[in-house]
Amino acid sequence: MLIPKRLKYRKQYKGRIKGKASKGNYVAFGDYGLSAAGKGKLTSRQIESARITINRYLKRGGKLTIRIFPHKPITAKPLEVRQGKGKGAVEYYAAPVKEGTILYEIGGVTEEQAREAFRRAAHKLPIKCKFVKRDDIAEAAE
């Protein structure tokens, strides 16, 4: 599971995810990418589950790159505890994802293989995703 090595502060505000991604919104390392079509939080477990799904489908072929990292601590109070008495303990870490962020990239496989691997991985994620190619984003920028 992905967790940060060290943080400046142990706990963070909840915050809001607003707007579209201005960084990390193009395919940089592979030929095909899985892009977020909506916004939300991806936990380290969800990221890992999708990674395993992609790798199982591709077997030994292709190179997978994970473009997001869960750096935001999410806190929760224990069950049956009244409110107040301070903020709860860190339960897990999540990656806040804006619309348009590239989540995963694959290189060295055919388009059909990449499309099917990403389709299977998208079922594991709580946000809507779409398949993108390296040249799609370059055309959209022009």
Q: Tell me: the pLDDT tens digits for 96-112?
A: 999 999 999 999 999 99
Inside any domain, residue 15? no
Query: Is it the case that residue 139 has pLDDT exceeding 70?
Result: no
Range of the domain at 134: 32-77+89-141
Inside any domain, residue 1? no
Inside any domain, residue 3? no
Using a pLDDT cut of 90, give the percent of the chain over it: 79
| CATH number of the domain to which 56 belongs | 3.90.1170.10
Inside any domain, residue 58? yes
Average pLDDT, the chain: 91
Q: For residues 34 and 121, what is the distance between their CA atoms, to the nearest angstrom?
A: 9
Closest CA to 32 of 124, 129, 141, 125: 129
pTM for this one? 0.88
Dump pLDDT digits (tens) for 27-58: 999 899 999 999 999 999 999 999 999 999 99
Residue with tokens 């903020």: 87
**Who contacts 86 (Cβ-Cβ below 8 Å, separation ≥6)?**
none
Our count of domains for the chain comes to 1
Inside any domain, residue 10? no
Inside any domain, residue 137? yes
Inside any domain, residue 9? no
Phi, psi angle pair for 101, to nearest 5° = -70, 135
Inside any domain, residue 14? no
